[in-house]
Amino acid sequence: MDKHTKRFLVLACTLAFTFMISIFFVGRYTFSIFQLMNDETALNIVLRIRLPRVLAAMMLGMALSVAGATMQSAFKNPLVGPEILGVSQGAAFGAALAILFLPGDPLRLEHLSTVFGLLALVASYAISSAIRYGGRILRLVLAGLAVSAMFSAGVGVMKYLADPFKQLPELTFWLLGGLSGVVWRDILYMTPLAATAIAALFIIRWRINLLTLDDDVITSLGTDPKRLRALAVTLAVIATATVTSVAGIVGWIGLTVPHICRKLFGAESSKVIPASILLGATLMIIFDDVARAISPGEIPLGIVTSFMGAILFVFFLSKGVSHE
């Protein structure tokens, strides 16, 4: 067995282990299998509260990490994250609209947030075709920056208009990111879209390597770089927008996890993508455990991921031999 296969096995086992531990032991109560068989309350807590929450964390980690790995290849830049095309701010704007104008309707926030996240992608592409500066990729990055800024201004307006006692706290907590209050309905909403996008990226994982080459080289290898990039980016955005609509803004995972995976498995995306899926899921479950269990109250997940993500980022980038 080569070292990469071993590492994959270790990652997969860690994920399974973390998943089980988080369901049975992390939280205000710990349960044994025996208890679950006899105690209906315990079973209820595990099935109705913890299981959907841990599944949501898993899906969130997978989606953000695989989207981050894809975006880094698509933009030929290891320093971009899944939010590069204004998706997070778009999703935030959609969420803010829902909180202010459509209160009470179940899933209204998720729907609007996903739609606006995807709109950010469309807007970025539309604006990039009007920009007359730099190459294709730079134009897309610049357009993404502009779209992000516009939606961010929109979120500011919503905050300003929000009722300070009810709507503003809800919006603020959404923006901090978190999975408290996630129920099965949310899982059923986000799983089909996010899982499809993740699976599609997994299937084309080797092709994603091509995006890191010069566009002219990609053409000379018989592939249309614009189409391949649009496909990869759209799948990444679908994954990101869907999970963001449920979890809010959860930063740094999408940037950090692919980096760690490249340190462990090399740059080849047919390894980086599955590794990002496994490691992203594991780390997000652990971070969500920290968010819900470290204090009697709950720390917003976005704070934990930014803090831990940044520490891991610096740790892994300063470790080992630089290739430059």
Q: Of residues 239-268, which lie at the interface with other proteins (CB under 8 A)?
A: 262, 266-268
For residue 210, state whether it binds other proteins (rule: CB under 8 A): yes
Asked whether the CA dihedral 300, 35, 13, 52 is positive or negative, the reply is negative
For residue 7, state whether it binds other proteins (rule: CB under 8 A): no
Nearer to other proteins, 115 or 267 (CB): 267
8-state DSSP, 102: S
CA neighbor of 246 nearest in space, from 22, 63, 15: 63
Give the one residue of 28, 216, 297, 318 binding other proteins; rule: CB under 8 A: 216
Alpha helices in the chain (DSSP H): 3-24, 33-38, 40-44, 51-74, 87-101, 108-130, 136-161, 167-176, 184-203, 205-208, 215-220, 225-247, 253-265, 269-293, 301-318
Asked whether the CA dihedral 219, 63, 323, 310 is positive or negative, the reply is positive
From 25-33, 168-176, 181-189, 199-207, span contacting other proteins (CB under 8 A): 199-207
Give the one residue of 16, 102, 161, 221 binding other proteins; rule: CB under 8 A: 221
| Smallest separation, CB 75 to other proteins (Å) | 10
- What is the C-alpha to C-alpha distance for residues 225 and 217, in angstroms, rounded to an integer? 9
Is there a contact between 61 and 285 (Cβ–Cβ < 8 Å)?
Answer: yes
For residue 220, state whether it binds other proteins (rule: CB under 8 A): yes
For residue 323, state whether it binds other proteins (rule: CB under 8 A): yes
Is there a contact between 246 and 182 (Cβ–Cβ < 8 Å)?
Answer: yes
From 13-21, 203-211, 232-240, 298-306, span contacting other proteins (CB under 8 A): 203-211
Give the one residue of 78, 131, 136, 137 binding other proteins; rule: CB under 8 A: 78
Give the one residue of 180, 196, 234, 270 binding other proteins; rule: CB under 8 A: 270
For residue 324, state whether it binds other proteins (rule: CB under 8 A): yes
Backbone angles phi, psi at 319, to 5 degrees: -95, 145
For residue 77, state whether it binds other proteins (rule: CB under 8 A): yes
Binding-site ranges for other proteins (CB under 8 A): 73, 76-78, 203-207, 209-210, 212-214, 216-217, 219-224, 262, 266-268, 270, 323-324
